[in-house]
Amino acid sequence: MSISRRSLLTAATSLAVLAISQPARAAGEVNVYTYRQPSLIDPLFKQFTAKTGIAVRAVFADNGLVERLAQEGRNSPADLLLTADVGRLVEAAGRDLGQPVTSPAILDKIPANLRDPGNMWFGLTMRARVVYASVERAKIDAITYEELADPKWKGKICLRPGNHPYNLGLIAAMIAHKGEDGARAWLKGLKDNLAIKPSGNDRSQAKSVFAGECDLAIANTYYMGKMLTNDEEPEQKDWAKAVKIVFPSSPEFGTHVNISGMLLTRNAPNKDNALKLMEFLASDEAQRLYADGNFEYPVNPAVAASDIVKSWGSFTPDTLNVAEIAKLEPAAAKLVDEVEFND
């Protein structure tokens, strides 16, 4: 996986702090490699430091952090890996880059289907893969994932490229529940219903609906909140107001969800401090702060979602362990190539 110039510059700047070997192992610190944006997680780190006195040193990059952990091996300064999706957690665990955690303060807060069966990694926030339906042209209150392949929606659907991790997760869920043949047939039907070539990100799908290029878009729930509150780019508020969230379901598995999460690195030099940070991130306080900050759902069922998130409605999430779905993402990527989904 290549590392973008922006990621290298960001990581290099942060690593300047970590480059001194002794401070990286000093008491009172914890070092984090994170795929999640600093603006989202910095408030969590500040709260943790205020509570414990433990300083958090973070390295952010868009991609390449799992590879970096593997290359650094025993000399890595990283104690904790934070990801934006389950696929990278499964990849890191599969490459023997993590270690199990048995803290009751974590296990009691995070449901079994949202963590690794061997407790190598843990979900922290959850989002659903949903339909953004045109308020004007798609007057629907319910839809199934299967219906997205129905010819009645021919030329009406848009989404980002099929090989993006968010879409690979959904396709992998279809494989898990319907088998490869069933998922292949569904993906072909979905491709036939596309209005435009898959491109852009989840926000630009809402823009396409706003522009009349399609009536339905597939996107994550939390982007709706980001658009509705974007004062720097107010045009995004118009995109969001042009669509409404409809939670797709399947008779077989409900609504597909993905997670952000955390993994304790195999060679964590500040393991005790990392465990304290993990316990904090699983706590009711941090769950609320983390989920609210990105318009996501807390994985801790005792913590309520924010009012804006609750306003989108309710759904029944897939109960299959997200690890089982993530393991099928390579098979999903092959299907994307096989049906030439992005062409």
- Which domains are delineated in the chain? 5-126+259-303 (3.40.190.10), 127-256+315-338 (3.40.190.10)
Q: Which residues pair with 131 in a beta bridge?
A: 218, 246
Of the candidates 196, 183, 182, the residue with the CA atom closest to the CA atom of residue 336: 183
Is the pLDDT at 18 greater than 50? The verdict is: no
Q: Are 80 and 268 contacting, i.e. CB atoms less than 8 angstroms apart?
A: yes
Residue 252: its pLDDT value, please?
Answer: 86
- How far apart CA 23 and CA 270 sit, in angstroms, is 11
Interacting residues of 228 by C-beta distance below 8 A, sequence separation 6+: 237, 240, 241, 308
pLDDT by residue (tens digit) across 122-169?
Answer: 999 999 999 999 999 999 999 999 999 999 999 999 999 999 999 999
What is d(CA 258, CA 84) in angstroms, rounded to the nearest whole number? Answer: 9
Q: Which residue has the higher pLDDT, 73 or 1?
A: 73
pLDDT tops 60 at residue 228? yes
For the chain, what is the mean pLDDT?
92
pLDDT at 329: 95
Q: Is residue 9 predicted with pLDDT exceeding 90?
A: no
Task: Give this prediction's pTM.
Answer: 0.88
Residue 311: other Cβ atoms inside 10 A:
11
State the Cα–Cα distance between residues 196 and 123, nearest whole angstrom: 34
* Total residues belonging to the chain: 343
Higher pLDDT, 159 or 22: 159
Asked whether the beta carbons of 208 and 196 are under 8 A apart, the reply is yes
Confidence of residue 32 (pLDDT cuts 50, 70, 90): very high
| Beta-sheet strands, E only, within 61-108 | 80-83
Q: What percent of the chain has pLDDT over 90?
A: 90
Residue 140, both tokens: 């629907």
Which residues, other chains included, contact 222 with Cβ-Cβ below 8 Å and sequence gap of 6+? 127, 294, 295, 296
Phi, psi (rounded to 5 degrees) for 80:
-140, 140
Answer for the pair 43, 292: CB distance below 8 angstroms, yes or no.
no
Q: Where are the beta strands (DSSP E) in the chain?
A: 29-34, 55-60, 80-83, 121-134, 157-158, 216-220, 243-246, 257-264, 297-298
Asked whether the predicted pLDDT for residue 4 surpasses 50, the reply is no
For residue 5, what pLDDT is reported? 38
Q: Which two tokens stand for residue 199?
A: 């491109």
Q: What is the pLDDT of residue 2?
A: 39
Is residue 233 classed as helix, strand or coil in its secondary structure? coil
Cα–Cα distance between 70 and 58 in angstroms, integer? 18
Q: Are 105 and 282 in contact (CB under 8 A)?
A: yes
In the predicted structure, residue 227 carries a pLDDT above the cut 50: yes
At how many degrees (to 10) do helices 38-52 and 284-294 cross?
Answer: 160
Report the distance separating Cα 136 and Cα 78, nearest Å.
49
